[in-house]
Amino acid sequence: MAHKDYVARGRKTKAAPPPPKRPLPWFRIVITLGLLGGFVFLLWSIKDKAADPETSQQQAVPGAVEALPDIPEEEWEFIKSLPEYTVEVDVQDRQQSDQRYLMQCGSFRLKAQAEELKANIAFQGLEAQVRPSDNGSGRWHRVILGPYVSKRRAETHRHTLKKAKITTCKIWNWNL
């Protein structure tokens, strides 16, 4: 019985009435068309003035025609003086410095760790050495590149290693 009441109630309900139709906003349409017509008239009225600048200038001031001044002849001095110009530079012979540079990229207790870093450096096309060193705290294995004649060359190799994410390299002065 409950089912029949539900079905019966559903049939008895009325659908909501549709919303009322809104009238066209004639006032807005008329204003929009008026503005559009005014803009078209403005463009049409300035069309002829922009097409011919000489006539528009003459219309502004009748009888006034100004001629442009003549372009002056340009005389460049450097064209004549440059071929005759010479420069003398005093070059002093650079003395070869006894200063050399080493780059140390790591120091390890285990030789296997040092050899692993040496292999990673070798993958970058650089040759490293593993040198053992004894000090008060025991034996260490240092990974060294060099010696370099100039610091610039050492910096170049250090930047190459930085690109490979080997960032522990330091450059040291090494005197002969």
How far CA 175 is from CA of 97, 142, 143, in Å, comes to: 10, 18, 19
Query: At residue 48, does pLDDT exceed 70?
Result: yes
pTM greater than 0.75 (yes/no): no
- Residues ≥6 apart with Cβ < 8 Å to 78: none
Domains in the chain, CATH or no CATH each: 102-175 (3.30.70.1070)
Model confidence at 39, pLDDT cuts 50, 70, 90, reads very high
Which among 98, 97, 101, 117 is positioned nearest to 154, based on CA atoms?
Answer: 101
Q: Which pLDDT belongs to residue 135? A: 87
Q: What pLDDT digit, counting tens, does each position of 143-164 carry? A: 999 999 989 999 999 999 999 9
From the list 142, 139, 144, the residue with the least C-alpha distance to 161 is 144
Structure tokens given for 143: 């990974």
Strand pairing category for 99-108 and 138-148 = antiparallel
Per-residue tokens: 174: 């090494």
**Per-residue pLDDT tens digits for 19-31:** 887 777 888 899 9
